[in-house]
């Protein structure tokens, strides 16, 4: 809630799923354009008297982070350290390596791949080295361990502990949710959930609302369900928040703060994009309380394992609180029931808000690299944010939306440019959250300016999401050496509804334009952005090669991806997007012995059945990890 500073100005303090921001008394004003194409701006100011205090807190926080990482890393299991050699035999091993694309046996030692080929050839390669043959996969298919290079453990852990009311079914450790569509269907389901609670003061926490499927939502609607129980609804993209009056009162939110922010509406109880981050902190602290969060992480580990994943990446660390997130991740991995690796990509937007300067943000990101362990790896890649969320239709589009609304910036163009330059000059790999074609134009212009000013051949640049783009932009990416990490699931869930709401049929058919990227020769990986899509790489690949929407129709047949590129997108290309292609992503001597074990061969069965291929489990660091019975 707002409170008065020593000079009498308004102070806001907010934590969010992406950052913490403090607006303090005037000393150095920052002009910040909120609406793309509008002249509207707001003046945010910070007190220089707070800088030294904040730097001191930052140093203390980093020492705490480093201590936690050091102490907990000793107990994080990372696979087999045994010097014994084990040979896994399989019906087929797809290596994703052009020199030896297939095999039927692979030898592992101390968590690494030692040799591959037929059983006879592997034993010959080993010579006098003692080995044990493990034939448990004799009738199964081995692929490189699936990788999700953009998944949010913090959001997944939070949402799995909420009531899910979504237009799509979701499989969770607590069971399969029911799909709910239509305004009355959505509000009716909220009324049912309200009746199921006996305590009037027990929060009703709901995730999954999506206006194109569920109609408009406001504080009045939620008050009609209950004025006694606090109700919070998190929009499908988590970029929007809705509150009833009791929730606003309980959280201590006040109209003055809402009225001062251009992306907040007090009357409707609605926060979106930056307002969710700037003002939504009290709500996030409830959602991510340690007990709830740990329970959610445990459920998320089950989701990750059942998807056949061996490596996942938090694309933007931290999201809420660095010390809490790192500590709880290590604690979850200590349980021994989380057979996967985590990669952390520093969140440049969060660090910019924390340190108020792009150069200081880069230095803070560099300190995070010291926190790497074998299972929790911090990579020298940084992510920042351009336009708004695809599920909120807040992306910046070159052609207007059908209803005339406009997109939003998550970071102003000036902030994007400053962060890009600061991290570019220090040699970081770059990841950019960008969804619309107008947002993409700006991002590519800024990257191209850096390439001209500071040439850096081979620099890893990855565009995250790439929800809608034009053919000329695919070609431009290819010329610039830029890669894409795409959420293919957008097509399945959004094309059937966006053709009526916001986009129209032509643009809806080109959502997630993977065929165009393949024709242009742009490297592509897939991510779930969980919980934006199921953490099921085979389902993402199924959408990409079939383009089947939730309505059963094929959307944009010319944007289908080839089967081989789809398999590569969840293995070797996903590793490449994180700069880890020399360690994971394919099966080759010297790489980590991480495999996904399937009951059917995706190269042999009809691609229309890919989403239904059973996953036996995984092998992590040479140790088999079967999926427990449901």
Residue 219 shares a structural domain with residue 124: no
Read off the pTM: 0.88
Using DSSP's 3-state secondary structure scheme, residue 461 falls into strand
Mean pLDDT across the chain: 89
Token digits of residue 69: 């990482």
3-state helix, strand, coil in the chain (%, to 5): 40, 25, 35
In this structure, the dihedral spanned by the alpha carbons of residues 105, 107, 108 and 109, taken in order and rounded to 10 degrees, is 170
Stretch (H or E) spanning 524: strand 524-526
DSSP string, 601-615: -TTTS-GGGGGGPPE
**521: helix, strand or coil:** coil
For residue 579, being part of any structural domain is answered with no
Do residues 415 and 432 lie in contact, with contact meaning Cβ atoms separated by under 8 Å?
no
pLDDT in tens, 384-415: 999 999 999 999 999 999 999 889 999 999 99
Note whether residue 81 is domain-resident: yes
pLDDT for 57 equals 53
| Domain termination site, one of 287, 321, 341 | 287
Same domain, yes or no, for 187 and 258? yes
Considering the domain architecture, whether residues 283 and 177 belong to the same structural domain is answered as yes
What is the torsional sign of CA 522, 525, 526, 527? Answer: negative
Say whether both 137 and 85 belong to one domain. yes
Q: Are residues 272 and 237 in the same domain?
A: yes
- Cα Rg of the chain (Å, integer): 24
Tell me, yes or no, whether 515 lies in a domain.
no
Q: Which of 19, 1, 34 is closest to 410 using CA atoms?
A: 34
Looking at residue 253, which CATH number applies to its domain?
Answer: 3.10.310.70
**pLDDT tens for residues 274-322?**
899 899 999 999 999 989 999 999 999 999 999 999 999 999 999 888 9
Residue 345 lies in a domain: no
- Within this chain, do residues 184 and 276 fall inside the same structural domain, yes or no? yes
Last residue of a domain, one of 253, 270, 287: 287
> Do residue 188 and residue 116 come from a single domain?
no
100 falls within a domain = yes
Domain count for the chain: 2
Residue 72 has what pLDDT?
58
Residues 138 and 206 occupy one common structural domain: no
CA distance 487 to 577: 14
Q: Give pLDDT tens digits for 474-493.
A: 999 999 999 999 999 999 99
What is the spatial distance between Cα 273 and Cα 253, in angstroms, rounded to a whole number? 17
State the CB neighbour count (10 A cutoff) for residue 503.
Answer: 23
Identify each DSSP E strand in 535-576 by its residue range. none
**pLDDT of the residue at 68:** 58
pLDDT of residue 47: 34
Work out the pLDDT band at 53, boundaries 50, 70, 90: very low
pLDDT of 335: 82
User: Is residue 162 domain-shared with residue 283, that is, in the same domain?
Assistant: yes
Instruction: Strand 204-209: give its sheet, edge to edge.
Output: 163-164, 204-209, 231-235, 240-243, 270-272, 264-265
Do both 174 and 119 map to the same domain?
Answer: no
Last residue of a domain, one of 225, 254, 287: 287
pLDDT tens, 417-435? Answer: 999 999 999 999 999 999 9
Looking at residue 150, its pLDDT comes to 98
Check residue 66 and give its pLDDT.
54
Determine, yes or no, domain membership for 277. yes
Token pair belonging to 380: 């020298």
Question: Is the peptide bond prior to 318 cis by the omega test (within 30 degrees of 0)?
Answer: yes
Interatomic CA distance for residues 192 and 6, integer angstroms: 47
> What are residue 330's phi and psi, to 5 degrees?
-65, -40
196 with 132, same domain: the answer is no
Q: What is the pLDDT of residue 629?
A: 86
The pLDDT, as a whole number, for residue 507 is 98
Q: Which domain holds residue 177?
A: 155-287
Rounded Cα distance, 484 and 463, in Å: 5
List the CATH number of the domain containing 109.
2.30.40.10
Q: Within 10 A of 456 (CB to CB), how many other CB atoms are there?
A: 14
Domain match, 168 and 240 both: yes
The percent of residues in the chain predicted with pLDDT above 70, rounded, is 87
The answer to whether position 214 is within a domain reads: yes
């Amino acid at each position: 809630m707002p409170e008065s500073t020593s000079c009498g100005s308004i102070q806001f303090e907010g934590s969010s799923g992406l950052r913490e921001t403090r607006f303090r008394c005037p000393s150095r004003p920052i002009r910040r354009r909120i609406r793309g194409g509008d002249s509207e701006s707001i003046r945010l100011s910070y007190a220089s008297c707070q800088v030294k205090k904040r730097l001191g807190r930052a140093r203390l926080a980093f020492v705490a982070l480093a201590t936690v990482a050091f102490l907990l890393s000793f107990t994080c299991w990372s696979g087999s350290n045994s010097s014994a050699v084990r040979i896994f035999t399989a019906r087929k091993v797809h290596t994703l390596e052009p020199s030896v694309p297939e095999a039927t046996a692979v030898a592992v030692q101390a968590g690494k791949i030692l040799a591959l080929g037929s059983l006879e050839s592997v034993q010959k390669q080993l010579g006098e080295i003692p080995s044990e043959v493990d034939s448990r996969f004799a009738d199964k298919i081995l692929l490189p361990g699936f990788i999700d290079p953009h998944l949010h453990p913090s959001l997944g852990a939070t949402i799995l502990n909420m009531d899910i009311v979504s237009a799509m079914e979701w499989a969770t450790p607590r069971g399969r949710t029911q799909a709910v569509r239509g305004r009355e269907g959505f509000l009716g389901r909220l009324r049912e959930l309200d009746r199921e609670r006996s305590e009037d003061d027990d929060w009703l926490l709901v995730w999954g609302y999506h206006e194109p499927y569920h109609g408009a939502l406001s504080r009045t609607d939620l008050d009609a369900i209950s004025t006694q129980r606090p109700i919070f609804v998190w929009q499908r993209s988590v970029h929007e928040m809705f509150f009833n009056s009791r929730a606003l009162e309980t959280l201590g939110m006040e109209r003055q703060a809402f009225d001062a922010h251009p992306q907040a509406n007090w009357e409707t109880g609605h926060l979106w994009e930056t307002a969710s981050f700037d003002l939504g902190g009290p709500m996030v602290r409830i959602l991510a309380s340690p007990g709830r969060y740990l329970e959610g992480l445990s459920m998320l580990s089950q989701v990750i394992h059942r998807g056949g994943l061996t490596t996942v990446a938090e694309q933007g660390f931290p999201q809420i609180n660095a010390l809490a997130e790192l500590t709880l991740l290590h604690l979850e991995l200590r349980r021994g029931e989380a057979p996967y690796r985590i990669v952390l990509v520093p969140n440049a937007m969060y660090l910019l808000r924390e340190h108020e300067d792009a150069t200081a943000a880069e230095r803070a990101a560099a300190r995070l690299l010291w926190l790497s362990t074998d299972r929790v790896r911090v990579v020298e890649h940084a992510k920042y944010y351009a336009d708004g969320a695809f599920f909120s239709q807040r992306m910046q589009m070159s052609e207007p939306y059908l209803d005339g609304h406009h997109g939003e910036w998550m970071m102003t163009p000036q902030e994007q440019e400053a962060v890009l330059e600061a991290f570019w000059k220090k040699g970081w790999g770059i990841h950019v959250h960008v969804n619309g074609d107008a947002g993409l134009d700006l991002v590519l212009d800024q990257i191209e300016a850096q390439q001209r000013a500071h040439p850096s051949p081979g620099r890893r640049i990855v565009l995250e999401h790439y929800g809608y783009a034009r053919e000329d932009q695919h070609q431009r990416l290819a010329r610039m050496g830029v890669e894409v990490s795409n959420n293919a699931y957008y097509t399945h869930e959004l094309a059937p509804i966006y053709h009526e709401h916001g986009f129209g049929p032509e643009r809806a058919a080109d959502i997630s334009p993977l065929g165009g990227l393949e024709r242009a020769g742009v490297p592509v990986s897939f991510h779930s952005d969980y919980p934006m899509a199921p953490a099921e790489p085979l389902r993402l690949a199924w959408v990409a090669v079939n383009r089947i929407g939730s309505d059963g129709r094929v959307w944009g047949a010319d944007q289908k991806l080839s089967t081989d590129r789809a398999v590569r997108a969840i293995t070797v290309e996903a590793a490449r997007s994180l700069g880890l292609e020399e360690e994971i992503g394919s099966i080759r001597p010297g790489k980590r012995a991480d495999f996904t074990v399937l009951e059917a061969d995706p190269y042999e069965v009809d691609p229309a059945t890919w989403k239904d291929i059973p996953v036996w489990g995984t092998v992590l660091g040479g140790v088999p990890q079967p999926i427990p019975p449901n």
